[in-house]
Structure 1
Amino acid sequence: MTISAGAAELLLVANKPGLTETGGGHGAKGVDFQRWWAVLRMVELEQANELDFLLLFETVQDVTELDSADTPSRARVYQVKKKDRGEWSWSVLTGTTAPPKKSSSASSNAATPTFAKVGDSALGKLHLSLAAFDQLPVEAYFISNAGCDIPLAAGGNAATSMPCSFADFALQHSQLLSQALSSLGANGSPAPDLTKLKLKRVPIHPDEPSSYVIKLALELLTERSPAHAGQASSFVESLATKISPLGRHTDTCSSFEDLIKQRGFARQEFMSAMGALETIPDYSAYLNIWLTQLQTEGMEFMLVTALRAQAARVVREKLTGATLPDVQAIHDFCDIWLDANARGPHLRPYFEAGLDALKKDFSSFRDSELLARFAMRAIKKCVDLN
């Protein structure tokens, strides 16, 4: 198969109606979970030293991963779902009734399973996506923070043994699933390859999805850019901000290039974001020293806390390149004021004088934001002098 054929088939499948969920079924919390998982996946791919990758959002399923942005030769299709409590049940995942336990006296009288709801189930949709490809090698994954209550052939349960493939299910379950998925195809269609359909659990909590992602990013930056490891939080938050708008528009794309432009995020962009860290000093060390001194000199604790939060926002803003014109005006004002006013032995009077000057022209901004921007410009000035 040629390189262009892989991209062409992906585009064809991406434009097929009925595969991608385009509604607002997940809610904001579910979309947030998907976004943070996508950042996690990019960090994982980079840790694995993948030469290239491309994530396409709301394409085929929630996310499609290609091994190259230019020459795709394989793909992974992901359905990414958060669950607030409990585990995923067989009936919810497959749209069928679980097979009876062998010990059940009623097993011989069990009703013939019906497959009317399989096509609308999570695993049914994944199988349909997989079956839509004829040439490009594809795997499909169901990703969640919760386990799946399904027995495995080797013993144990998928809830505690993920990742696993559907072929790992206990015999009765894998046979029933194979029949259920076969019902979605035309007569004579090949039997589903359950080894290409997989479950994976990820340690992302729906109420605090960034924590685990920051942990992995810290490991990556400690290895690749140790001087900027302290910016792991700002780094992943900037990535989450960048991918947030991708996939909001799911119009039919006329070319593979249009598909990438509308819904894609490639390794090159990931590396550009990482490279941007090299141009930004690790402000955290300087900031922590200054905030400790400000609090020692009597600045209110709540104001110091708010200043710290706003400073983190300024760093994220720098990484995403999202500084607005009115905010840039504050930065320009700070630079001029800092050049004209020497700092004395105490920080608090210096910060208060800077804030008083800023409030004359930027009274619509909160004190904590003005102080944070003042602090970050002051730190930049100190670093540049060094």
Structure 2
Amino acid sequence: MTISAGAAELLLVANKPGLTETGGGHGAKGVDFQRWWAVLRMVELEQAGEIDFLLLFETVQDVTELDSSDTPSLARVYQVKKKDRGEWSWSVLTGTTLPPKKKNLAASAKAVIPKFEKVGDSALGKLQLSLAAFDKLPVQAFFISNAGCDIPLAAGGNAATAMPCSLADFSPDHADLLSQALSSLGASGSPAADLTKVTLKRVAIHPDEPSSYVIKVALELLMHRSPAHAGQAASFVESLVTKISPLGRHTDTCSSFGELIKQRGFARHEFVAALGALEAIPDYSAYLSVWLTQLQTEGMDFMLVTAVRAEAARVVREQLAGTTPTDARSVHNFCDSWIDLNEAGPYLRPYFEACLAELTKNFTSFRDAELLARFAMRAIKKCVDPN
């Protein structure tokens, strides 16, 4: 496909009303889950050696992935849904009732014909509608969740414990009924739904603590790509979540593919840039740990030291995401000037407390822990990277 054909069709489908969920859905917690999964997906793509990718948020479905930000030749559309308890049921996923059990086949002849009115509003129904919206661009669909799907498989077992699997892997009675249900969404004479194009996948992201698993996977990438900065894995992924969080908040119709990318997209070159920004920032964590240990040894309150450590991690995230607030930059400039004029003695605590006394006079809206953290990071920068 040409650039114009692939991009034009994606733009056309993205602007179709009724495909993307633009409401509150499962709320802020669900959106947070989607964003953490999106960072995980970027790390997976980078680990796989993909030369390009583009993620578009709240586009077609929760996320659409293209194999190129310039010449898309393949699209993957994702519904990314968290579940706080239990497994996904057949009725929620499909919008229809379960097929009759084998022992009831004789009675099923007299049974009411399944109704498909709710299929279009179901999770798999929405994915089928998205697939059907594409005519030229090859597309695959995925249902991603932290929970399993309680559906029997043709090979035995259950999708709840055997994900990933495609819809074609369902037991014959479930697959036949689902094929009818999804095919009912198309116009008369349309091709039957291709169950092989939709995959169910479970991810090890806990909705109440989504960061842990994503940080673990990012750590593996950094250990391979940039081992000197592996200790900053948490700051790295948290900065990416911060970067992509605003994307997709505005789902107005876009007049061009470029506008769609600007409004809702995050490309591999931006991911690589974030990696580059990480490598440009020395791993302050080791230096900070030594300094905070010394400050505590010199009598600084343990709770204050703990708060400073947490605030310092936030400062690093700001640096990686490029989101340092204007008033915080003023604090940094003040610290830099103060450090240039004041030499540290053999003990750190008097040095820190002397600067804190000046900072609290000039920046009354900041808590002591944050001021100390920003001062520590600026002082470490002066020591590690004076240029």
For Structure 1 versus Structure 2, the TM-score category normalised by the shorter chain is over 0.9
* Alpha-carbon offset, residue 157 of structure 1: 0.5
**1:228 — aligned with what?**
229
Give the distance between the partners of 1:103 and 1:374, measured in 2 at CA: 73
**2:24 — aligned with what?**
24
| 2:38 pairs with 1:38 | yes
| 2:219 pairs with 1:218 | yes
> After superposition, where does 1:95-106 map in structure 2 within 5 Å?
95-104=95-104, 106=107
> After superposition, where does 1:44-193 map in structure 2 within 5 Å?
44-104=44-104, 106-107=107-108, 109-193=110-194
> After superposition, where does 1:258-337 map in structure 2 within 5 Å?
258-337=259-338
For residue 65 of structure 1, give the secondary structure of its aligned residue in structure 2: strand
| 2:240 pairs with 1:239 | yes
* Alpha-carbon offset, residue 349 of structure 1: 1.2
- CA deviation profile, 1:94-148 (whole Å, cap 9, x unmatched): 0000112223475554432110100100000000000000110000000000000
TM-score by length of structure 1 reads 0.98
Aligned residues: 386
**1:367 — aligned with what?**
368
The residue type paired with residue 310 of structure 2 is A
* Alpha-carbon offset, residue 364 of structure 1: 1.5
- CA deviation profile, 1:354-379 (whole Å, cap 9, x unmatched): 10111111121100000000000010
**2:198 — aligned with what?**
197
Question: Can you give the 5+ residue segments of structure 2 that lack an aligned partner in the other structure?
Answer: none
* Alpha-carbon offset, residue 193 of structure 1: 0.7
Give the distance between the partners of 1:352 and 1:272, measured in 2 at CA: 37
The residue type paired with residue 170 of structure 1 is S
- CA deviation profile, 1:130-169 (whole Å, cap 9, x unmatched): 0000110000000000000000000111011111100000
Percent identity at matched positions? Answer: 82
Structure 1 109/296 Cα, relative in aligned 2: closer, same or farther at 3 Å?
farther
Give the distance between the partners of 1:232 and 1:380, measured in 2 at CA: 19
Kept after mapping to 1: 8 A contact 2:2/2:71: no
**1:4 — aligned with what?**
4
Give the distance between the partners of 1:249 and 1:151, measured in 2 at CA: 39
The residue type paired with residue 40 of structure 2 is L
Question: Can you give the 5+ residue segments of structure 1 that lack an aligned partner in the other structure?
Answer: none
Give the distance between the partners of 1:130 and 1:348, measured in 2 at CA: 62
**CA-atom RMSD in angstroms:** 1.1
Moved more, 356-365 or 122-131: 356-365
The residue type paired with residue 12 of structure 2 is L
Give the distance between the partners of 1:97 and 1:107, measured in 2 at CA: 13
